[in-house]
Structure 1
Amino acid sequence: MPSDPIILAFDTSAAHCAAALLQGESILLSRAEPMSRGQAERLMPLLEEVLAEADCTWRDLTAIGVGIGPGNFTGIRISVSAARGLALGLGIPAVGVSGFDALAEIGDGLPAIRAPREQVYVALPGQEPALMAQDQAESLGPLILNDDAKAQVQAIARLAAQNWQSTTTPPAPLYVRPADAAPSKDAPPVLLEE
């Protein structure tokens, strides 16, 4: 196994499936595929392709980095559950990285993550993350939007590399608002007794 830590990072919190492999301070390989659906089916094959292309195996990994949101509820659950499962199976730490932290690593400005209906998620200094209209967020200053999935997943890899040794808890989704989906209002099925 190489002496420099190897971090595999991935993110499916928006309309993409993205992965990056970092060794030491160098990004060995990164990919981002735009997709509105199908991240669950594409994530593991994409990770295997990235590892194979970089001539690495799962056992070479030092840690996992994963985007925890905010963003698409299903996409966040896909990545976080995959990261937790891989970390458990490989016996390595998984580091959750918020989209806000990843975007702040990319550039200067207010990190803003696109949401439905011309809204964005923002995390103002000293405040809880919030959902607001994009034009309202733009009035606060220049925005760093999550439009470059490849740059974002590379930032996740770099932040995971900085924090993997001090991580003590598994990654958990970062949700800013409740899900749009509601429980079924249909009556539950009648259970038949034998």
Structure 2
Amino acid sequence: MVQRILVLDGSPAGESACGTAACVVQNNGHLRVLAIRQEAGKQAAEGVSLLAAEVLQQAGWSLAQGNAPELVAVVVGPGSFTGLRASCAAAAGYAVGVGCPVVGVTRAEALAPELDAALAAAGADLSGWLVVTAARRGRVFVEDPQGARAINIADWVAPQGKWLVAGEARSVLAFPSAVSCALTHPDVEQVAAAALQRLRGELPERCALPLYVDPPEAKLPANGLRAAPI
């Protein structure tokens, strides 16, 4: 049984941008945070590997001492383009270094158990749940059990039915009928729990790579690439 889990998260974007690293212990199915470090700002998200080094030192986990993490869990999105690249790269590098698995989870996958419970408690009149998170340029990311997509706020058309709506940007989208949920972003225990589910095969396979909802912004020059130097 996996007992030591390193959790990395650089996904929050915009005003919510931050980096998080934590050492989480599993004991008889219960999760406990042994050490956690979180810093606000884009630079913190990009430097999540530094936060990871700090929490590993606080927890006393290392390969040399024979108690390195047995699993690295990383939030793969949707969220900050740079933060996702940095955190996923740090997760993959550390996992290779200590020889343990690395598992990616999305925000909604980590929040799903609580959202499903809230949905069940609300009764049969709700159609489902949505997680709405901040993006750039007048858009938001919307994630449900089927996946994530980017939405232009100006073009938003609410789905039919009554929905449970979570996420830090939930108030940005208009719904004719909705129940607001206070859940905004998964905590490290929720991320670790979802990663363990995926490791056990209880969630579909997903590579620990950034979940890029938007197409790449980089474009080839109109006249093509320059010729190779002679």
TM bucket (normalised to shorter chain) is 0.7 to 0.9
The one-letter code sitting in structure 1 at the alignment partner of 2:91 is A
**Higher mean C-alpha deviation, range 129-138 or range 80-89:** 129-138
The 2-side partners of 1:4 and 1:128 are apart by 28
Matched, 1:67 2:75: yes
Structure 1 match to 2:149:
130
**Contact 1:122 1:137 survives alignment (8 Å):** no
Which residue of 144, 151, 156 corresponds with 2:191? 156
Give the direction of change, closer, same or farther, for the CA distance of 1:106–1:183 in structure 2 (3 Å limit): farther
Larger radius of gyration: 2
The 1-side partners of 2:130 and 2:108 are apart by 9
Deviation string, structure 1 residues 92-147 (Cα, Å, up to 9, x no partner): 1001101221233455442222112443222334x442222397569953422158
**Contact 1:7 1:160 survives alignment (8 Å):** no
Structure 1 match to 2:172:
none
**Contact 2:132 2:168 survives alignment (8 Å):** yes
Trace 1:76-155 onto structure 2 (pairs within 5 A). 76-105=84-113, 107=115, 108=118, 109-125=129-145, 127-132=146-151, 133=153, 141-146=163-168, 151-155=186-190
The 1-side partners of 2:60 and 2:185 are apart by 20
The 2-side partners of 1:13 and 1:20 are apart by 15
C-alpha RMSD of matched pairs (Å): 3.2
The one-letter code sitting in structure 2 at the alignment partner of 1:144 is A
2:188 counterpart SS class = helix
**Higher mean C-alpha deviation, range 57-66 or range 149-158:** 149-158
After TM superposition, give the deviation of residue 173 of structure 1 in Å: 2.1
**Contact 2:77 2:84 survives alignment (8 Å):** yes
Structure 2 match to 1:28:
34
Instruction: Extract unaligned runs of 5+ from structure 2.
Output: 119-128, 170-182
Higher relative contact order (CA 8 A, sep 6+): 1
**Higher mean C-alpha deviation, range 106-115 or range 183-192:** 183-192
Which residue of 45, 52, 57 corresponds with 2:50? 45
The 2-side partners of 1:5 and 1:61 are apart by 8
- The TM-score normalised by the length of structure 2 is 0.67
The one-letter code sitting in structure 1 at the alignment partner of 2:21 is A
Matched, 1:172 2:209: yes
The 1-side partners of 2:193 and 2:107 are apart by 13
Q: How many residues align?
A: 189
